[in-house]
Structure 1
């Protein structure tokens, strides 16, 4: 039985335990809606897409040439009976010994079963001569009806993200609208007197608000609609009013930093006033402290991520992405992993999962290798810009030596 995020107490959690428990915040998936196919890129299917036609609809020519009924290579000259074009089929049957000019995609005329490509033909006024007939095989260059998809087949399953290829497939089946899950509406905010919006003068003791923009990008990449609450003041009443409104309008609320335990904190007080809040210690680096809970009567999930910029990205990928999966009717899955050979020594600590920013590449033999980006401080944003993966050193590893195989999570694939 999976414990909810409120039942775990002060124990140190593994990454897997935290990921599973956090998913219990989502009580039900979002409702579905139908959208025009032209607006469906990046959306998640809420229902299966089932074929109502064969694809291709007709048995047709795979290339330009002539269509005929092939028996053997004794006959080399064939009388032309007419033409067949894509969108304009040949009318009638093709008699034995005759052929029809045909273009790619044109339905194969009755009485024919083979297409000879144009490059193998010598065309005359009312006939064609086949060169090298011994190379012809009966049925060649023909695409059968339903060869790709047959009527009744499930072409795409619910939960599939509609990328460019999927959109083309749906269009080939004649769907003008598709059932998709609503985009998760995610409210994000920053807090802290030291946090300054980009474009404003930076105080001597201030920092620019990088995390809110990082979260915006991550959420958009993962199909969410962002509600940007900006930088909230350290004022209990203002925080409470803003967060109550956000909880009513959003499906998930996320903050970075500013939610702590052990000292006075307006944000924490406002969150606890609005709902239920708990704090975790997760055995990972970067990103150890986290908060989670529910806000308002609708039990809108809340996740408080660490304040360090790199920790925000790492914890988002490990813990927030599964929440977005749940909201869109998908099971919680672990991040995609590949295996790579470490090029250099990597430090870790037993009973803690370390995520090291890395760069993977292929050697001359095609084997996947990976190296660290360098300094791994949790505030070094340039390391995330340079990285194309996270090197995952699990809690049963105590460092890695060059030549050993490690797990990596590519950063360039969001699905």
Structure 2
């Protein structure tokens, strides 16, 4: 058997990030930047008014108050979206709207509330603005040549707005990997269909599809494929047009009807291995089709399939998406609250619930469910995997163990200030 680390390293060595491509802003929403974005222009583009009011020369209104207002001649009207070449001279002002360019000669804006109102002839100013008051100055927010966003930034609403503000309509992003999930087994039926004799609902297809979404993929779940090698190969071939990665579940052990192993072994591009882990010992990985699309063939037992996905498929999806430093779930040390056995020679990934201890700020983990690879009840409760080394056959209560944090556990530990 090969080790977990060797199998993971072999998988990741054959995965290459998807090439970036340019997207319009709204289509780029939610994607990761594949370039540093440098501001092509200043923001604001020009000095403009922050208020509805009058553009003035401050020197002309110094000393003005309610008893002795400054009286200025209104020489022009400047709505937003227009420009003016006329200059404000001594004793003059211009009516100006929010966002309109400040005319030459003016160095402050008097809000209309500080005057006797809108006027086309003369206006009385009874309060003095600061020098530059209520003027949005060119480049005060963003300066041309400034780095705004860096490679790897996830484009949310605020980042999309920033790109629009500097006039970018296209941006290079990493595409979300497209993952096709195929469940195999003649015993499977769709959830919602009453199982017949010997039949069970397809839990794996839904579990893995949801997990792939959580990893950042666009997911296409294929309906159940019966135990027919030709039908499976035809299904995979049909799906390759929309796949950056394929995941199958079931049919990879040594049974008489292990259709995935039977169908793909003949291609010569998929290797089937026994990995020293529990659950999830039978694993397969390789490429299919003329474009050599990566394919993972995972075990059929639900817990085995899920654990295998989180350990091997999730990092591959993240690498396809261009991640470099965040491929894997984080691992922390925790105090185990109960003892349990572990098979010698294989690394066990037991289900657990991790959280803060009662005192001292320690992290504790509580095993949940049994060791069986079919026990979905415990898996649904778990927020982590307890990793027990190959040489260890027993975990005692109070032992320090390594814990692989699933997404829910990260939230728990974030609340207590742990990472």
Distance 1:59 1:304, change over 3 A: farther
Q: Give 1:412 deviation, angstroms.
A: 10
Root-mean-square deviation over aligned CA pairs: 4.7
Report whether the alignment pairs 1:303 with 2:296: yes
Cα pair 2:252 2:284 within 8 Å, conserved: yes
Report whether the alignment pairs 1:54 with 2:51: no
Residue in structure 1 matched with residue 205 of structure 2 by the alignment: 212
User: Counterparts in 2 of 1:77-92, with a 5 A limit?
Assistant: 77-79=69-71, 81=74, 84-89=78-83, 92=86
Distance 1:70 1:192, change over 3 A: same
Distance 1:276 1:407, change over 3 A: closer
Cα pair 2:338 2:396 within 8 Å, conserved: yes
* SS of 1:238 mapped into structure 2: helix
Cα pair 1:291 1:304 within 8 Å, conserved: yes
Report whether the alignment pairs 1:276 with 2:270: yes
Residue in structure 2 matched with residue 410 of structure 1 by the alignment: 407
Residue in structure 2 matched with residue 5 of structure 1 by the alignment: none
Residue in structure 1 matched with residue 318 of structure 2 by the alignment: 325
Greater radius of gyration (CA)? 2
CA distance in 2, matches of 1:400, 1:104: 68
Deviations 1:196-244 (A, max 9, x none): 1224331243221122123333444555444444222212333333334
Residue in structure 2 matched with residue 23 of structure 1 by the alignment: 12
Residue in structure 2 matched with residue 169 of structure 1 by the alignment: 162
Residue in structure 2 matched with residue 12 of structure 1 by the alignment: 3
CA distance in 2, matches of 1:288, 1:151: 56
* SS of 1:319 mapped into structure 2: helix
TM normalised by structure 1 equals 0.71
Aligned counterpart in structure 2 of residue 236 of structure 1, from 220, 229, 239? 229
* SS of 2:284 mapped into structure 1: strand
Report whether the alignment pairs 1:293 with 2:282: no
Cα pair 1:248 1:296 within 8 Å, conserved: no
Distance 1:118 1:180, change over 3 A: same
Report whether the alignment pairs 1:105 with 2:99: yes
* SS of 1:39 mapped into structure 2: helix
Report whether the alignment pairs 1:40 with 2:14: no
Structure 1 gaps of 5+ residues are 1-9
Distance 1:108 1:233, change over 3 A: same
Number of equivalences: 388
CA distance in 2, matches of 1:360, 1:73: 64
CA distance in 1, matches of 2:339, 2:105: 71
Q: Give 1:66 deviation, angstroms.
A: 5.4
Aligned counterpart in structure 1 of residue 309 of structure 2, from 306, 313, 316? 316
Deviations 1:148-180 (A, max 9, x none): 433334433444443323322222233334444
Structure 2 gaps of 5+ residues are 411-419
Residue in structure 2 matched with residue 7 of structure 1 by the alignment: none
Residue in structure 1 matched with residue 137 of structure 2 by the alignment: 144
CA distance in 1, matches of 2:24, 2:232: 38
Q: Give 1:316 deviation, angstroms.
A: 3.4
CA distance in 1, matches of 2:58, 2:275: 73
User: Counterparts in 2 of 1:250-399, with a 5 A limit?
Assistant: 250-260=243-253, 265-274=258-267, 275-281=269-275, 289-309=282-302, 312-331=305-324, 333-335=326-328, 345=337, 354=349, 356=351, 358=353, 375=369, 390-391=383-384
* SS of 1:214 mapped into structure 2: helix
* SS of 1:212 mapped into structure 2: helix
Residue in structure 2 matched with residue 127 of structure 1 by the alignment: 124
Q: Give 1:58 deviation, angstroms.
A: 2.2
Distance 1:319 1:405, change over 3 A: closer
* SS of 2:318 mapped into structure 1: helix
Q: Which moved more, 1:404-413 or 1:81-90?
A: 404-413
Q: Give 1:254 deviation, angstroms.
A: 0.4
CA distance in 2, matches of 1:127, 1:249: 69
Q: Give 1:253 deviation, angstroms.
A: 1.2
TM normalised by structure 2 equals 0.70
Cα pair 1:277 1:294 within 8 Å, conserved: no
Q: Give 1:255 deviation, angstroms.
A: 1.4
